[in-house]
Amino acid sequence: QHAKKNKQAYQVYDPQFDQHAVERLFLTNSLKQAIEQDELTLFYQPKLRLSDMTISHVEALVRWQHPEKGLIPPDAFISIAEKTGQMDALTRWVTNAAVSQYVSWQKMGFDINIAINISAANIMDKSYPDYVISLKEQHQLSDNAITLEVTEEAVVEDAQKATEILCYLREHGFKLSIDDYGTGYSSLAQLKHLPVHELKIDRSFVQHLSTDESDKIIVRSTLELAHNMGLSVVAEGIEDETALLWLKAQGCQLAQGYFISKPLPADVFEQWIENTPYHISRTKN
């Protein structure tokens, strides 16, 4: 008994945890309510198709509109949701909201593919995949409607399982993207069997492109590699025009970043669309 007590005391000693324990406990308990009570909200960040300078895609990014604490960024609660088994509920909420938004933008005449970020937990079994497939069928969405962004890290965790589930999603008409590409330490051998359409180069390689020669080398070789593998490329984190034009010249398909637009609430995004100098992808009818 005594030994066990000691062992436990030894195990729980983690100053990092102590420091944030209260905050984390608070967030864990209220996250469940936040999901149930619609305290979450989506911001939308456009992606620019460089070949014809058209806004053709948008990424949905979740925030928590907390009644007392204000707007909480996803980095502050996604990992809590992951550790406390709430990722399924959270991603379902996000997916449902993003699909509704897609449908209403279609009605307004905008033909803009919407990207949803999914976690490792969402591709461990078919529970989430079956949910998103059923939503797609219910709303009769086309195969160009939805992109699912999954981090390189999530895929490498259990590559075999991930490959199986991603194949399943691809068969059902979803576009699949590897997010934060270049940060997950995956080898080419691991990635070459993945049934994805797109690599999304992490912003750490893109942010300083216009001045950093080694970033240029990395991005250029990633583009060549991806294109040789038949994959499309998105660069995230573009913060200046030099980087944008350089990426266009290198044949990068899509660009995203503060230079084009920050993530915006839906109504602000609609105003942005009315005023942007870029073309907008519109429905045919």
- Shortest distance (Å) from residue 102 CB to ligand C2E: 14
Q: What is the DSSP string of 86-98?
A: -HHHHHHHHHHHH
Which CB sits closer to ligand C2E, 258 or 278? 258
Part in contact with Mg ion (CB under 5 A); list of ranges 74-82, 127-135, 147-155, 224-232 = 147-155
Q: Work out what residue 265 binds among ligand C2E, Mg ion, none; the CB cut-off runs from 5 to 8 Å by kind.
A: none
∠ CA 230-257-239, nearest 5°, is 115
Point out which residues bind ligand C2E (CB under 6 A): 45, 61-62, 73-75, 78, 91, 94, 117-119, 149, 179-180, 203, 236-239, 256-258, 263
Q: Work out what residue 75 binds among ligand C2E, Mg ion, none; the CB cut-off runs from 5 to 8 Å by kind.
A: ligand C2E
Q: Work out what residue 263 binds among ligand C2E, Mg ion, none; the CB cut-off runs from 5 to 8 Å by kind.
A: ligand C2E
Number of other residues whose CB lies within 10 A of the CB of residue 144: 14
- Shortest distance (Å) from residue 192 CB to ligand C2E: 22
Which CB sits closer to Mg ion, 86 or 119? 119
Distance (Å, rounded) from C-alpha 35 to C-alpha 41?
A: 10
- Shortest distance (Å) from residue 11 CB to ligand C2E: 29
Alpha-helical (H) ranges within the chain are: 2-12, 15-36, 78-83, 87-107, 127-138, 152-157, 159-171, 188-191, 213-228, 241-249, 266-275
Among 86, 95, 117, 122, binds Mg ion (CB under 5 A): 117
Beta-carbon contacts of residue 88 (< 8 Å; ≥ 6 apart)? 121, 122, 127, 128
Continuous segment of H or E residues that includes residue 200: strand 198-201
Q: Work out what residue 62 binds among Mg ion, ligand C2E, none; the CB cut-off runs from 5 to 8 Å by kind.
A: ligand C2E
